[in-house]
């Protein structure tokens, strides 16, 4: 058999079609874990780590970001990494291209979003690494400029199909909330807690300007929920607007803690892949390390917080993605047969706000009018 005669580099060259081999169909790569980064700094910290060895295989995949055309994999192919490009649209298209690429079989793969984020100082501090259960799309709403809102509106954002902030939407688009496997999260959080987090003097100085814990304490591993928006907002009023909306759209369950631009795009593509039977949505980890706060320290302006301040959080947040991520990767590889191969069964609803994949557990998000699969009422 040809496939037993060729190995290593030659097999890869064949897989990429650079050597003609009539009738030869290489087996797709089936990584145990796929690291998902959005941009260069997040990528570099993983691919330049020689112990991980992600540059052993470069696999060019049509349809992923032309800025980051290669998926990087270890020589065994057990660990791979993709860079989506920034923002939800790039994340969704990159993941979709990968899921439907014949080069990969992702049906048993664990997906680990590893990216930086803003953080609400009530939940954590810079350098902290958060693991999200709920992901919420924050800016899929009506919006009015604050100078043209009624006196009794607390914000210019109004949920779809309603007359005022704070009301439950009467229609949605469907990408609004995703909920992840909490038992998987519990496992990876316990593993993540064995990592020694990096900190930095300028991050310590900046966070000391916040009044209270946890903002002014050392970084740690935390569990909380993450928002996605195209708008890169800052300041307590914008943060409160979206925290209030998070509560409305998740029926009071989720609390907005970290903020980034990509997760909903990534999760939407993964959800579609799960509906198509190509990936397992119970195998998704969202890891977000805090590079900055979502609001300035007390007494400073919102614009100062985003436009002028240097929170010092960027470097430790990037480093902590690696130190935490490698613990999780090691756990998945070392305990594959015992724990991960057949999956970690969730005890919570796992899926989207549409109940797109009906399971044994009823959704705790969404409403009967939204569900594409009905939920029994008993
Ligand atoms: C993969 O690409 C990187 C550059 O991005 C390069 O340093 C590395 O040597 C390549 N690996 C292989 C196996 O060609
Ligand atoms: C993609 O991989 C190929 C093959 O190793 C390499 O020649 C090329 O430089 C890589 N591209 C980038 C942007 O890393
Ligand atoms: C705001 O005031 C208008 C009347 O001016 C009233 O109809 C509406 O219900 C009020 N909305 C809220 C959110 O209080
Ligand atoms: C958030 O909700 C609280 C409680 O309803 C309200 O007092 C506050 O004004 C809201 N904040 C914003 C920015 O809408
Ligand atoms: C969430 O709240 C809305 C509005 O009150 C309600 O229609 C819906 O059934 C609730 N969903 C869940 C899962 O409780």
44 lines ligand 1 (CB under 6 A): no
Ligand 5 centroid – CA 15 distance (Å)? 49
Ligand 1 centroid – CA 58 distance (Å)? 6
Question: Does residue 331 lie in a domain region?
Answer: yes
Ligand 1 centroid – CA 81 distance (Å)? 13
Question: What are residue 285's DSSP bridge partners?
Answer: 112
The torsion angles phi and psi of 3, rounded to 5 degrees, stand at -65, -25
Ligand 2 centroid – CA 77 distance (Å)? 17
Task: Report the alpha-carbon angle 75-44-8, nearest 5.
Answer: 15
Residue 175: exposed, middle, or buried by beta-carbon count in 10 A (0-12, 13-18, 19+)?
buried
Q: CA of 192: how far to CAs of 93, 185, 323, 329, 351, in Å?
A: 29, 10, 9, 10, 24
Range(s) of the domain holding residue 343 = 27-140+175-370
Question: What are residue 293's DSSP bridge partners?
Answer: 119
39-86 pLDDT, tens digit per residue, is 999 999 999 999 999 999 999 999 999 999 999 999 999 999 999 999
Question: Does residue 265 lie in a domain region?
Answer: yes
Q: Which ligand is nearest to the CA of 44?
A: 1
286-329 pLDDT, tens digit per residue, is 999 999 999 999 999 999 999 999 999 999 999 999 999 999 99
61 lines ligand 2 (CB under 6 A): no
Ligand 4 centroid – CA 248 distance (Å)? 12
Question: Does residue 1 lie in a domain region?
Answer: no
69 lines ligand 1 (CB under 6 A): no
**Residue of 142, 152, 158, 163 to mutate, ligand 3, most atoms within 8 A of C-beta:** 152
**pLDDT band with cut points at 50, 70 and 90 for residue 343:** very high
Question: Does residue 128 lie in a domain region?
Answer: yes
pLDDT at 7: 42
Q: What is the DSSP string of 67-117?
A: TS-EEEE-TTSSEEEEE--SSHHHHHHHHHHHHT-TTB--TT-EEEEEEEE
Ligand 2 centroid – CA 106 distance (Å)? 22
Cα 317 from Cα 274, distance rounded (Å): 30
Residue nearest to atom 10 of ligand 1 (CA): 55
55 lines ligand 1 (CB under 6 A): yes
Question: Does residue 4 lie in a domain region?
Answer: no
12-27 pLDDT, tens digit per residue, is 444 444 454 566 667 8
DSSP, res 253: -
256-286 pLDDT, tens digit per residue, is 999 999 999 999 999 999 999 999 999 999 9
Cα 268 from Cα 174, distance rounded (Å): 9
**Residue of 69, 85, 103 to mutate, ligand 2, most atoms within 8 A of C-beta:** 69
240 lines ligand 4 (CB under 6 A): yes
Q: How many domains, in total, are found in the chain?
A: 1
CATH of the domain at 99: 3.40.50.1580
Ligand 2 centroid – CA 130 distance (Å)? 32
How many residues are there in the chain?
A: 378
Question: Does residue 185 lie in a domain region?
Answer: yes
Spell out the residues 6+ positions from residue 349 whose beta carbon is closer than 8 angstroms to its own: 179, 359, 361, 362, 363, 364, 365
Name the pTM for this structure. Answer: 0.93
Residue nearest to atom 4 of ligand 2 (CA): 58
Question: Does residue 170 lie in a domain region?
Answer: no
60 lines ligand 2 (CB under 6 A): yes
Question: Does residue 298 lie in a domain region?
Answer: yes
The overall average pLDDT reported for the chain is 94
């Amino acid at each position: 058999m040809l496939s037993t005669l060729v190995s290593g580099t030659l097999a890869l060259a064949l897989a990429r079609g650079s050597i003609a081999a009539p009738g030869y169909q290489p087996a797709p790569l089936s990584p145990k874990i796929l690291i998902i980064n959005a941009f260069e700094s997040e990528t570099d910290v993983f691919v330049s780590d020689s112990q991980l060895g992600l540059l052993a295989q470069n696999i060019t995949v049509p349809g992923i970001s032309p800025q980051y055309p290669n998926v990087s994999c270890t020589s065994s192919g057990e660990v791979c990494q993709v860079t989506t490009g920034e923002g939800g649209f790039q994340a969704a298209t990159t993941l979709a291209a990968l899921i439907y690429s014949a080069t990969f079989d992702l049906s048993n793969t664990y997906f680990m979003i590893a990216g930086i984020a803003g953080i609400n100082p009530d939940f954590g501090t810079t350098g902290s690494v958060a693991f999200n259960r709920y992901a919420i799309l924050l800016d899929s709403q009506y919006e009015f400029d604050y100078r043209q809102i009624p006196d009794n509106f607390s914000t210019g954002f109004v949920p779809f199909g309603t007359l005022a902030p704070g009301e439950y939407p009467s229609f949605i688009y469907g990408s609004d909330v995703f909920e992840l496997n909490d038992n998987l999260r519990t496992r990876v959080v316990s593993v993540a807690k064995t990592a020694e987090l990096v900190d930095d003097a300028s991050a310590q100085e900046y966070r000391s300007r916040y009044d209270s814990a946890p903002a002014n304490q050392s970084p740690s591993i935390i569990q909380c929920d993450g928002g996605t928006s195209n708008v890169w907002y800052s300041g307590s009023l914008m943060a409160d607007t979206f925290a209030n909306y998070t509560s409305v759209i998740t029926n009071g369950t989720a609390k907005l803690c970290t903020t980034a631009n990509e997760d909903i795009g990534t999760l939407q593509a993964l959800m579609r892949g799960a509906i198509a039977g190509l990936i397992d949505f119970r195998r998704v980890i969202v890891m977000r390390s805090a590079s900055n706060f979502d609001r300035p320290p007390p007494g400073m302006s919102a614009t100062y917080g985003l436009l002028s301040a240097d929170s010092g959080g960027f470097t430790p947040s990037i480093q902590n993605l690696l130190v935490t991520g490698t613990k999780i990767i090691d756990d998945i590889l070392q305990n594959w047969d015992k724990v991960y191969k057949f999956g970690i069964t969730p005890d919570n609803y796992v899926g989207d706000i549409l109940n797109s994949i009906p399971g044994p557990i009823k959704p705790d998000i969404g409403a009967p009018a939204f569900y594409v699969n009905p939920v029994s009422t008993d």
